[in-house]
């Protein structure tokens, strides 16, 4: 999904800030935030729109006539009967309840605005530049890429620095290389645009990333079968 589109990012950010996004969708959105500047900008813009909720307005007490009209409209004949039976003391008790509810609503709005105004606790992404390898096949000598891994290690954005003529009969596959042991496939990636990869613990045991040229469906063996055209080490 292309999260760089302003309309889509704005809709998702609105659902996130207003609290209508919940459960797995909310957790996935928070995972995507570090790697997508447009999503972060949209969230900040929605937070700024709701900050005025935190403005504390001075308390203004309505006149007794206004309160009496409100009581009659809300409670009809029962309100008049109660006033007649209880006298002014009952009316003042109901007035205190309404004032208490108004104060509670003001405090709730203030608390919501302050909470929304707080910046999201986002760790900075880890950026790895992948350089072309010696012996790269003809036409792929510019096989340079940049990988931006979210600070929580659960998503990355892969992007080529130049468009590569891979061809219809080949595909690029991204690998996580451990310090020791077999590489782990992270799936196929685009040769001419950004690719988002979602995995749990992307950085766990990962010492470097590599890109290989594979058949259209990816490596049939679970390990690189074509030439490895680019490698980027993870700096720790």
**Tokens read off for 37:** 């500047």
Average the pLDDT over 73-82 and give the result. Answer: 56
CB 172 within 8 A of CB 193: no
Cα separation, 43 vs 48, whole angstroms: 9
pLDDT of 174 above 90 = yes
pLDDT band at 176 (very low <50, low <70, confident <90, very high): very high
Distances (CA, A) of 164 to 40, 139, 170, 171, 189: 30, 8, 11, 11, 12
Cα separation, 191 vs 161, whole angstroms: 9
As a whole-number percent, the residues of the chain with pLDDT over 70 amount to: 63
- Position 211 scores a pLDDT of 92
pLDDT of 92 above 50 = no
DSSP 66-99: HHHHHHHHHHHHHHHHHHHHHTHHHHHHHHHHHH
- Smallest CA-to-CA distance from 154 within 182, 128, 125 is with 125
The residue with greater pLDDT, 88 or 218, is 218
pLDDT band at 173 (very low <50, low <70, confident <90, very high): very high
63: Cβ contacts below 8 Å, ≥ 6 apart: none
- Position 210 scores a pLDDT of 92
- Position 57 scores a pLDDT of 47
Q: In this predicted model, what pLDDT tens digit does every residue of 99-151 receive, in sequence order?
A: 555 555 555 555 555 545 555 555 677 888 888 888 778 778 788 899 988 87
Beta-strand relationship, 228-233 and 206-214 = antiparallel
Alpha-carbon torsion angle 131, 209, 41, 107, nearest 10: -150
């Amino acid at each position: 999904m292309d999260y760089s589109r302003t309309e889509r990012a704005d809709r998702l950010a609105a659902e996130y800030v207003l609290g209508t996004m919940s459960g797995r969708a909310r957790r996935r959105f928070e995972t995507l935030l570090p790697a997508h500047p447009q999503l972060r900008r949209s969230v900040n813009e929605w937070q700024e729109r709701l900050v005025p909720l935190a403005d504390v307005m001075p308390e203004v007490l309505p006149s007794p006539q206004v309160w009496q009209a409100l009581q009659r409209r809300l409670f009809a004949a029962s309100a008049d009967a109660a006033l007649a039976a209880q006298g002014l003391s009952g009316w003042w008790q109901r007035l205190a309840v309404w004032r208490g509810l108004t104060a509670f609503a003001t405090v709730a709005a203030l608390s919501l605005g302050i909470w929304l105004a707080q910046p999201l606790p986002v760790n900075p992404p880890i950026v790895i530049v992948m350089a072309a390898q010696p012996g790269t096949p003809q036409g792929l000598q510019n096989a340079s890429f940049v990988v931006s891994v979210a600070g929580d290690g659960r998503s990355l954005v892969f992007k080529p620095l130049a468009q590569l003529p891979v061809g219809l009969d080949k595909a690029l596959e991204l690998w996580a290389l451990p310090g020791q042991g077999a590489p782990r496939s992270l799936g196929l990636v685009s040769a001419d645009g950004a690719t988002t990869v979602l995995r749990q613990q992307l950085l766990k045991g990962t010492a470097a990333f590599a890109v290989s040229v594979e058949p259209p469906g990816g490596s049939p063996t679970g390990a690189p079968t074509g030439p490895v055209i680019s490698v980027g080490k993870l700096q720790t």
